[in-house]
Chains A and B, each alone.
Chain A
């Protein structure tokens, strides 16, 4: 079946059934935040599904951490002997991913995925192993947030890019599941016993919800952002709009597409150690500091410019897409309310 209905009372059963073959992650409440946590299968508490918080607007941290963890051992070593860390291949289901986050995965696929540059083949086995073993079930956004702007950057509250199954919450509380990829189709087939066929009224409901959500997303002036950004590299706009930046990395860490990392060795002092990859941020002065002491981006506003330029000017060239998904997380978490929407809209304008 390409489309299926999961009735309201059977969600826990569905999550439990998927947990028999995979670690199932979904939005849960943890501390004061909604984040992705294990709800079923390996790593989940026996009552993990109870902590599910599907109704929340969006998770504080994006789904990227499930495929590109903040801290990842690459290999271990002892003196000169290197021991590979097994590539992560355990099956994983990410459930309740918002379409902006799912679309972000299509960008990360380009960053970490197979690519050829001249005679060199680039691919990141760690990321690709997780992606290959992962299934993404996204949940369309019936109620976009005031900070959302996906429709201005190529997304949609019910977009299907990067997802295997798109779920829509219908007015009767049931979930309409639509297979987007073969992998998604296989998952639906595996659990076919839990579903019923949608009525035409339910399919109509979905169309209506999707159109209403699209209309509710506040547009941002992001058209020609690349041309405007390129022309505004030395503009006073940057100073006017980014002077208040504190230089923390909150925006980059919550971002679903920021992917810069650092590599460091953690050693025990006895010749043993682990080489780690961990998230880094272009907002930190050390990110571009040269060994000579020179730093090409010494000021915070230059580093903020880099973040915006990277998303709106550089990746359209290198990856063929704007790498801001319009999720609005950076807008929401910035301690000084620095707003990428305002910056992008102001590029090319007189400050």
Chain B
């Protein structure tokens, strides 16, 4: 016989069952357990969890639990909780994978994602070929909107960052060049660095954070809302309808942004040159013009076109492969930005090495 009394509500401490357990495990625990709850003043779910535990203990030790003394509401709720038996296999068990198994799955995952990426690039290429034949299905208005969003709307931030990068380059260069009295070469330094690679990289990184993330989040949300499925079942390829205009838009806008970024960087250099190093404006201008060549310009343009396609590809790939939850959208957005920036740096390294081999 157990007497229960007082408040059994959440916030109260409930007694442990260890003593009872010890008693039940003793050689002669008795046949049945009677509960008397006449002194219980208040109860809620906490009381129920206590009783469930008690019940489990009793069944374990094959002792009949007499529930008659419980309040009628408690009895009904207990019956309700037991009405639907636990579904077999529904409870997840924590299985620890062996080390080798983990290595194996990880390897397979990586292999899978590589194959997936190659497949995606292939699909995009096919869609692009279809576009060249004038057969791709997408809306011109979508392309225009993307061009506006990725191009014109990005000008303020690209201006700011590139101007500052130009300033920084000029400052750092000036300190060293001043030692030799060769301040004028600040103009060459800024012009060549910005034009060959820095302008494109700056624009690329800004776009990875700004547009790559936007693409991934947009497409990811469309995936969550079944909008991508709705296109697919209509026989419209999501690659053509959603991915192609985005890659095209950013691929077209990025070279322009790159050139713009070069221009802003040179202005930044000019500010340092004229106001800090007291160089003549025309002198600085002439030095800039003589030091850059068309080759540099083309290399820079090539960089930014490649970056544009890479950032857009990364954003779209991650977005299209998004899972169906809010968390998945966050993950793919992060992956798109990180992947975009990594691919920009790797591409720069490859292009630089190639240029070295060719000798330009």
Q: Do A and B share a complex?
A: no
